[in-house]
A and B are shown apart, each in its own frame.
Chain A
Amino acid sequence: MNRAVIPEGPKLRKISPSRIAIYVFLGVSAIFFLLPVYVMIITSLKPMAEIRTGNLFAFPREITLDAWAKAWSSACTGRVCEGISPGMLNSFKIAIPGTLFPVILGAINGYALSFWRFRGANLVFTMLLVSTFVPIQVFIFPLVRMMTATGLFGTLPGIILIHTGFTLPITTLLFRNFYAAVPEEMFSAARIDGGGFWSIFGYVLLPISTPIVIVAVILQFTGSWNDYLFGLIFAGRENQPMTVLLTSIVTSQYGEKEYNVNMAATMLAAMVPLMVYFASGRWFVRGISDGALKG
């Protein structure tokens, strides 16, 4: 396999003009993806005077955390001026149960659909699959009515229920596809040993489910943290998540906009998913390709 005998044609692993072109293109793309984040960070560290006179891309002459302090605790969302901090707690209060319930239920569902093929299991599976395609706008009006009728509209349990319901199909599909790859013999052996529905789940399948649990948790958590529409409609004034508060801070300013405060608030809202992203590394990538390709 001596490639040198072929006189023409590009070869791998050689510093050629095409190699350089590849790195240049990747570098330029990296700038395109990083620049907005860079601008967001430096703008949040500048005082307004410098934003008005200086260049957008220039590093701050004078670094100040005033905008961050204001964004955190005193920026106004309409009439209330408490900053974005209440939203952080609310987002956790929504995203943590909004992750646990769909993941736990999704695991059970995926297990039931893969191994306990009860009558109608295929129908349920198909309906779950189809439901992931339906635009949420179709359900808003009936859901508002149903939630109001049950007294759940604008409450914390209400918004958690909404998150759980709408992401359940996705977590179920994730787990169902993961369990579909588990050898059937493992399950039948456990059945012969007298294992029941729950004991087989707990002793046989759960211990091997760690990878898919991690993937599902990451996807669910960032997904419910980043949600805007459900939070806006169903969370109610008391439980507004960060995304909703952020939008009110940015859109409700009168007079000159405080861009540094806006950027600091945006950074604060972006921080948790970014931390999850950088901490999870390859798992996030896996989550996206698993979630997408097997659906």
Chain B
Amino acid sequence: MALPVSLRRLPAVIAMTPTIFFVVVVLCFGLMWTVWTSFTSSKLLPNNNFVGLEQYVRLFGSDLWQVAVVNVAVFGLLFIGGCLALGYVLAVLLDQNIRFEDGFRTIFLMSASLSFVVTGIVWQWLFDPTFGIQAAVRDWGFSNFRFDWLTRKETAIYALVGAGVWQATGLGMVIMLAGLRGVDQDIWNATRVDGVARWRVYVYVVPAMIRPMIATAAVLLSLTAIKIYDLVVVMTGGGPGISTEVPAKYVMDMLFQRSNLGQATAAATIMLLAISLLVGLPWVIVRLRQSRSVGGGQE
């Protein structure tokens, strides 16, 4: 065993080489390439003609992009809020020693195994004004019933939220349920003595106790929301008009339909920036605070 330590670890390094190659070369290099391209006047073909922030000025001046940003904000807030709220309520109810818990959980989580493409097509059908839910309910005698969200500009984005919540609530529920299972049961004895109603404990105390799980679910859901693409393409194609355009679709359209590399890469860079600021930064702060509170030893 005369091998120096570094040499004995060589197989580990060799085994990881493909991964290191991919992360460093493909991802880092690709990321820099995209950011660089966003500062050039590239159109159909990439060029290295530096134009400063011109692409970004044009991007934020474009109606399409402004609509897309507003939409992803509205979608994101309602989607994340909806999934967390419904997911939390379902998780709490499932945690009440109920019968058929496994059955209910299986049903609530089922849609999470589907693709957004499938979800989108099914919900588009349900929202169909001539044959969908609207027609069915009117058929039962409620002739003023309206469920034509998808065909109206002001409401189409909410139809996307509905389908998204249907798909992703189970995910939030499972993560928060795992948290509830870890809640110290003494809390119930303590609050019963104080005469605090059970639901109040669930509203005011338990969320703070399972904060890490809620945060995890929120991070996963926000990553999904910022990148939302498949659902929009399938359900609305960005329409009616441009009322449901989203940033991820802007990038794709600029790349493959309008051959505008500069705009596509500038939009992608803004998406990266948004994720870093809205998701990455809070996440790092929480992590740092956590590791400090346990003495910095835990990873």
Chain B interface size, as a band, is 35 or more
Which residues of A sit under 8 angstroms from B276, Cβ to Cβ? Answer: 133
A137:B115 contact, CB within 8 angstroms: no
Main secondary structure, interface of B, reads helix
Q: Mark B66-108, 1 if CB is under 8 A from A, else 0.
A: 0000000000000000000010011001101110000011111
B131 at the interface (CB under 8 A from A): yes
Query: Chain B: which residue is nearest A112 at the CB level?
Result: B12
Interface pair B26/A138, CB less than 8 Å apart: no
CB neighbours (8 Å) of B288 from chain A are none
Smallest CB-CB separation from A40: which chain B residue? B122
Cβ A26 vs Cβ B98 within 8 A: yes
Beta-carbon contacts under 8 Å, B112-158 to A: 112-118, 121-123, 125-126, 128, 131-133, 135-136, 139-140
Kindly state the separation between the CA atoms of A26 and B104 in the bound complex, as whole angstroms: 7
Which residues from chain B contact A52 at a C-beta distance below 8 Å? 131
A16 to B220, CA, bound (A): 37
**Of A26, A140, A180, which is within 8 A of B93 by CB?**
A26
Cβ of A49 under 8 Å from chain B: no
- Answer whether A143 and B26 are a contact pair too, CB < 8 Å, given A112-B15, A288-B171: yes
Q: Does A207 contact B (CB under 8 A)?
A: no
> Whose C-beta in chain B lies nearest to the C-beta of A194?
B1
A65 on the interface (CB 8 Å rule)? Answer: no
Contacts of A264-295 to chain B: CB distance below 8 A:
266, 269-270, 273-274, 276-278, 281, 284-285, 288-289, 292-293, 295
B174 within 8 A of A: yes
Is the pair A165, B104 in contact by a Cβ cutoff of 8 Å? no
Of the listed stretches A7-15, A72-80, A151-159, A181-189, chain B binds A7-15
Complexed CA–CA distance, A114 and B130 (Å):
58
A137/B104 contact (C-beta < 8 A), A247-B117, A274-B114 known? no
Task: List chain A positions with a Cβ less than 8 A from chain B.
Answer: 6, 8-10, 12-13, 22-23, 25-26, 29-30, 32-34, 36-37, 39-40, 43, 51-52, 55-57, 105, 108-109, 112-113, 116, 118-119, 124, 127-128, 130-131, 133-146, 165, 168-169, 172, 180, 196-198, 222, 225-229, 233, 243, 246-247, 250-251, 259, 262-263, 266, 269-270, 273-274, 276-278, 281, 284-285, 288-289, 292-293, 295
11 interchain pairs (CB within 8 A)? A9-B192, A36-B126, A116-B11, A118-B9, A131-B23, A228-B230, A243-B118, A263-B125, A273-B113, A273-B115, A288-B174
The 8 residue pairs across chains A and B that have the minimum distance between CB atoms: A226-B115, A116-B12, A197-B11, A142-B30, A277-B113, A56-B136, A112-B12, A142-B33
